[in-house]
Amino acid sequence: MTGINVSRYGDRTNRPVLALHGINGHGGRWRRLAEHHLPDHHVLAPDLRGHGRSTHDAPWHVDQHVADLLAVLDAEDIPRTDIIGHSYGGMIAVHLARAAPERVRRLVLLDPATGLDPAHARRRAHEACTQSSFATPADARADRTQSWPEAYPGAEDDEVADHLDQDEDGHWRWRFEPAAVVTAFSEMARPPVPPPSGVPTHLVIATQAAIVRPTFVTACREALGDDLTITEIDAGHMLYLDRFEETGTLIRNWLDSRVIR
C-alpha cells in the first residue's frame, strides 16, 4: 500500500520501535542492534523512499518521508511508537514528531543531520550525483571495509548480502537512488527545528563527526527542557556500527528506563 519495504525484528506484540536509517542506507542495518539490544521490542526498520527495496519514485523530500512513515504505522496498526533515527533519519524523526506528536512516545536521535552548512551540503550533493559501481561483490565489500574501518565484525558482509544489487550492465551497486540522496542533502541544509515540547528525546552526538550543529542543540534545550538528554560518544558518524555495544546499550537502557507519559 505504501510502497515502503519494512524489515521487522522481534514479536509484534512487544513495544514498537521505528528505526530510521540515513542516506545511502537501508532498514537492514538495524538488524543486529535490534536482535542483540532490543529483543523485548518490536523493531520496524523501513527502507526510506529512494533506498533499498522501497519505491525509488520521487518525491524524496522530508514531508514525503513523514507521510510514508505515518502510512506504515497506520498499516501496522501502531498508534504510538518510540523512534530511533540516525543522520538524515534523525531529521525525519524530528519532523514526524512535529507533524504528529501524538504518534511518538520518545525519540533517540543518533547524530542527526540537520541544519548542515549549505556550502558543505552542496559539495556532498555534487558527489552524490555519481554512484559507485563494482565489478564484483568482493570489490564492493572491500570498498565498504575501507569506508567503515571501525564497524563491528561482519558489518560489511551484512551490507553486501542486504544492500548490493547487480544492474543490467553487469555491475554491482548499492540499492539507493542518487537523486534521492541529492535531495536529502538539500533538505539537511534547511534551518534546524527541534522536536516538539513534551516528547522525551535522547540526543546522541558522535564527537568525531562534527555533524550536530550547536544551533540545533540550543534549540533542543529551549524546546524540551528536562525532557532532553544529551550523550556524547567518541565515534565517527556511523556510531551504531562503530560503537555497536555502547550505542546499543545506551538505547536499550534509555528506552527501558524512561517513564512513558
Is residue 124 helix, strand or coil? helix
β-strands 6-9, 41-46 pairing: antiparallel
Instruction: Judge whether 146 and 96 are in contact, CB under 8 Å.
Output: no
Confidence at residue 139, expressed as pLDDT on a 0 to 100 scale = 97
Cis bond upstream, residue 59 (ω within 30): yes
pLDDT tens digits for range 86-141: 999 999 999 999 999 999 999 999 999 999 999 999 999 999 998 899 999 999 99
The one-character DSSP state at 51 is B
Confidence of residue 49 (pLDDT cuts 50, 70, 90): very high
DSSP-assigned letter for residue 4 = -
What's residue 257's pLDDT? 83
Measured between alpha carbons, how far is 177 from 198 in angstroms, rounded to an integer? 35
Mean pLDDT of the chain: 96
- Give the CA dihedral 58, 24, 115, 204, nearest 10 degrees: 130
Average pLDDT rounded to a whole number, residues 37-57: 97
> Does the structure show a pLDDT above 80 at 2?
no
Residue 26 is predicted with a pLDDT of 98
Q: Return the amino acid letter for 4.
A: I
Q: What percent of the chain has pLDDT over 90?
A: 96
Domains and CATH numbers, the chain: 6-114+190-257 (3.40.50.1820)
Q: Which three cell numbers stand for residue 128?
A: 552524490
Burial 87-102 (b: 16+ CB within 10 A, else e): bbbbbbbbbbbbbeee
Q: What is the pLDDT of residues 195-237, one digit of tens each?
A: 999 999 999 999 999 999 999 999 999 999 999 999 999 999 9
